[in-house]
Chain A
Amino acid sequence: MIGWKDIPPGMVILEAGSASKIKTGSWRAAYRPKWIEENCIQCLLCWLFCPDNSVKVKDGKRGEFDYDYCKGCGICALECPGKKGNKAIVMEEEVK
């Protein structure tokens, strides 16, 4: 932690998005989401609804979860439409 001589005037934060250094994945308690690719219809709702930007998307295509930040809330799993009633996200027990 910085000492008083390094405090910027007004404690203004000059590095945008510096919170990404805080890995909130450690908050996950019991469950973590798991992606089942074959059931995925690429609707990207999980990407949109994730409060912690923990669904990676590249070129408009869904990728893996970002467990560095995922807090395990389960919104993505609940909202995932999946394919023919089969969810593409399930919550499974956290492995620590």
Chain B
Amino acid sequence: MTKVVAVTGNEAVANAFRQIEPDVCAAYPITPQTELMQRFAAFVSNGQVRTEMILVESEHSALSACVGAAAAGGRVATATSSQGLALMWEILFIASGLRLPIVMPVVNRALSAPINIHCDHSDAMGARDSGWIQLWSENAQEAYDNTIQAFRIAEDMNIRLPVMICYDGFIISHSIERIEYLDDDVVKNFVGEYKPLYPLLDVENPKSYGPLILTDLYHEVRKAHSEVYKKVPKVVIEVAKEFEKISGRKYELFENYRLDDAEIGIVILNSAAGTTKDLIDEYRDRGVKVGLLKPRLYRPFPYEEVGNALKNLKVLCVLDRADAFGGSFGPLYLDIAASLCNFSQKPILINRIYGLGGRDFMPEHAAEVIEELKDIAKTGKITKLKEYIGVRE
């Protein structure tokens, strides 16, 4: 039923797009996303899909066109990275505010200045409160699987929200990995026929999209919008359960790795979680009770569930692959702190910034963090609350 291949992350996601065959895709090149849409464009050119491409003149127009296409009443996708996502910023909020189920892989890359084409999470983190659902992916398999599930989540009639699938630029997008592809038919069945909500092209029932809302109603419109996100985790779980049936792969809101009896914990997103898990196994072999939590559904963030999973730890380091400039903490740290703040029993928290602009995250970095956490567990003393790791003096 499944096919095992060795492909890059971008190729895997392009293949998911091929299997899903969105009605309309907009594309604009930016490293490291470029290859994804290039590969998909080849499927279109070769007649392997019936998708209509819009080869726009900017990412701002890419997402604007996606908004128009989704409102028109069909399945829509695009993809981007870094500066492209930053350029889309204005329209990100409009896509979610209009409740349009657009699916967009974000191949994570650092933001300028200085310009840098390699991985960190500052792009997607900058968009975390734009109302898009965010699914983060450790490897190419997860990127592929999340892409397939994203359409189901976005298009759920109770949700109707845009979804980003985040995976690490170059580290995942351009490295060849072993992947299991599902059959085309299986994916098509899983995703199903697109069901429009308020299609603009239904000319018999004209609708108006994008009204001006004044002070007498805006607050209510935003409250209604805010409420929708409460329904997302349940749908994400349901879709994951169905996905497990067709793939045998289990997905949850986050991955809990050897956390249940742990005293020392690490929270980390995406590809660096893989390296960290290997190190955790080594430490476990030596009797150190360490575990890891890797968020998958990062927006809306499952605060309660995450808090419950972490509250019994003694010490916890949140590793952010994005800094928050302006004297704040890494974005992931702030969410973890918020998820724990109301528990009476909770771990001591520290924040470490790693891997900016594609700097490798090595096993020794993970080891350094675990060693520091061991010290803090022993002494109860924090030397530095937030610090960069793997940085030259």
Q: Does B384 contact A (CB under 8 A)?
A: no
Answer whether A9 and B160 are a contact pair too, CB < 8 Å, given A14-B198, A16-B207: yes
* Nearest chain A CB to B287 CB, angstrom units: 53
Among A4, A5, A8, A11, residue most surrounded by chain B Cβ atoms (within 10 Å): A11
- B224 touching A13, Cβ below 8 Å: no
Does the CB pair B217–A10 fall under 8 Å?
no
Q: Which B residues touch A7, using CB under 8 A? A: 220-221, 224-225
Report if A1 contacts B (CB, 8 A). Answer: yes
**What is the CB-to-nearest-CB distance from B156 to chain A, in angstroms, rounded to a whole number?**
12
A9/B99 in contact, CB under 8 A: yes
CB distance from B171 to the nearest CB of A (A): 36
Chain B residues bordering chain A, tally (CB within 8 A): 23
**A12 adjacent to B227 (CB under 8 Å):** no
B209 at the binding interface (Cβ < 8 Å): yes
Q: In the bound complex, do residue A12 and residue B217 qualify as a contact, i.e. CB atoms below 8 Å apart?
A: no
Q: Which of A12-57 contact B (CB under 8 A)?
A: 12-14, 16
Q: Is A3 an interface residue (CB 8 A)?
A: yes
Complex formed: what's the CA distance from A16 to B207 in Å?
6
- Residues facing A in B175-233 (CB within 8 A) are 197-198, 205-209, 211, 213, 216-217, 220-221, 223-225, 227-228
Q: How many residues of A are in contact with the other chain, CB < 8 A?
A: 14
Known: A9-B197, A14-B198, A14-B205. A4 touches B224 (CB 8 A): yes
Q: Which of B197, B220, B223 has the most CB of A within 10 A?
A: B220
Closest chain-B Cβ to A33's Cβ sits at a distance in Å of: 29
Say whether B198 contacts A4, CB under 8 Å: no
Q: Is the CB of A4 within 8 A of B207?
A: no
Please name the residue on chain B nearest to A13 by beta carbon.
B208
A4 contacts B205, C-beta separation under 8 Å: no
When each residue 247-291 of chain B gets 1 if its CB lies under 8 Å from chain A and 0 otherwise, what string results? Answer: 000000000000000000000000000000000000000000000
Chain A residues with CB below 8 A from B228, complex form: 9
- Are A12 and B198 neighbours in the complex by a CB distance under 8 Å? yes
Residues from chain A with a CB closer than 8 A to the CB of B68 are none
B213 partner residues in chain A, CB cutoff 8 A: 11
Residues of B within 8 A of A (CB): 97-100, 160, 197-198, 205-209, 211, 213, 216-217, 220-221, 223-225, 227-228
6 A-B pairs with C-beta separation under 8 A: A3-B220, A4-B220, A4-B223, A11-B211, A11-B213, A11-B221
Task: Please list the residues of chain A having a beta carbon within 8 angstroms of any beta carbon in chain B.
Answer: 1-5, 7-14, 16
